[in-house]
């Protein structure tokens, strides 16, 4: 089954404790992206990746890092999380061989930073 | 500036009633338009998309949407709502290109509740 898998689904941590949210897709998509979803602010892009070793900032990259060492994986790293990073996070991927093919989303990771 | 407006933050309908969720956009060219649904605890799932051609598009789960260029709208409809349709619905328009990144502009969503 074609899917984007995020782990963990829920994460509670404390300020400053480094964490990684994993994302993996099995569709051989070149494009992957991370979003955060906050009430009243909608879906905002954090980082995106056009291909292996090609990443770039989205709209709200501060406080986040990503890496793309393999095509299928695109982890999101919070090296020193802060309470304002409490949010619902989504990873997504897209087939770039078709113009404006739709995004495929993971089921989300709800992060709470205390 | 490009934008997407979903005027209704929250809508409640009775099961079996018809549904229309509104989406208005501001975009400089012919847009690509999408509706996604987010069920509780789930990611966003594509309901339907419009790129060109017939302005009435059919999607999954019995949904349809109509593109009206003159009104800059892409409203989502369903003739008879089921309790399982309770979810958050997002309209998106694109592409918006910044460098190599072709991304979508997202509405803030409409939360749908369905009364039995």
Tokens of residue B48, six digits: 């339907």
Which residues of B fall within a CB distance of 8 Å from A94? none
pLDDT tens digits for A15-27? 999 999 999 999 9
**Of A102, A108, A110, which to mutate for an interface test with B (greatest number of B Cβ within 10 Å)?**
A102
pLDDT tens digits for B7-53? 999 999 999 999 999 999 998 888 899 999 999 888 899 999 998 88
**Degrees, nearest 5: CA angle A38-B76-B79:** 130
The C-alpha atoms of residue A97 and residue A30 are separated, in whole angstroms, by 9
Count of Cβ atoms closer than 10 Å to residue B9 Cβ? 10
| pLDDT, mean of residues B76-82 | 97
The C-alpha atoms of residue B17 and residue A98 are separated, in whole angstroms, by 37
């Amino acid at each position: 089954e074609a899917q984007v898998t995020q782990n963990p689904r829920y994460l509670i941590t404390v300020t400053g404790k480094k964490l990684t949210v994993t994302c993996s897709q099995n569709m051989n998509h070149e494009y992957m992206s991370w979003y955060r979803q906050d009430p009243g602010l909608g879906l905002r892009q954090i980082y995106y990746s056009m291909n292996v070793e090609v990443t770039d900032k989205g709209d709200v990259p501060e406080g986040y890092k990503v890496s793309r060492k393999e095509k299928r994986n695109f982890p999101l790293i919070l090296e020193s999380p802060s309470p304002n990073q409490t949010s619902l996070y989504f990873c997504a991927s897209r087939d770039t061989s078709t113009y404006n093919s739709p995004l495929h989303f993971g089921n989300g990771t709800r992060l709470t930073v205390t | 500036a490009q934008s997407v407006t979903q005027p209704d933050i929250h809508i409640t309908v009775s099961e079996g009633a018809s549904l229309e969720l509104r989406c208005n956009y501001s975009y400089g060219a012919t847009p690509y338009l999408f509706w996604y649904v987010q069920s509780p605890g789930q990611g966003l799932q594509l309901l339907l998309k419009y790129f060109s051609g017939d302005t009435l598009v059919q999607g999954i789960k019995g949904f349809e949407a109509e593109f009206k260029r003159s009104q800059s709208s892409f409203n989502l409809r369903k003739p008879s709502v089921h309790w399982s349709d309770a979810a958050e619905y997002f309209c998106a328009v694109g592409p918006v290109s910044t460098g190599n990144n072709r991304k979508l502009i997202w509405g803030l969503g409409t939360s749908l509740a369905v009364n039995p």
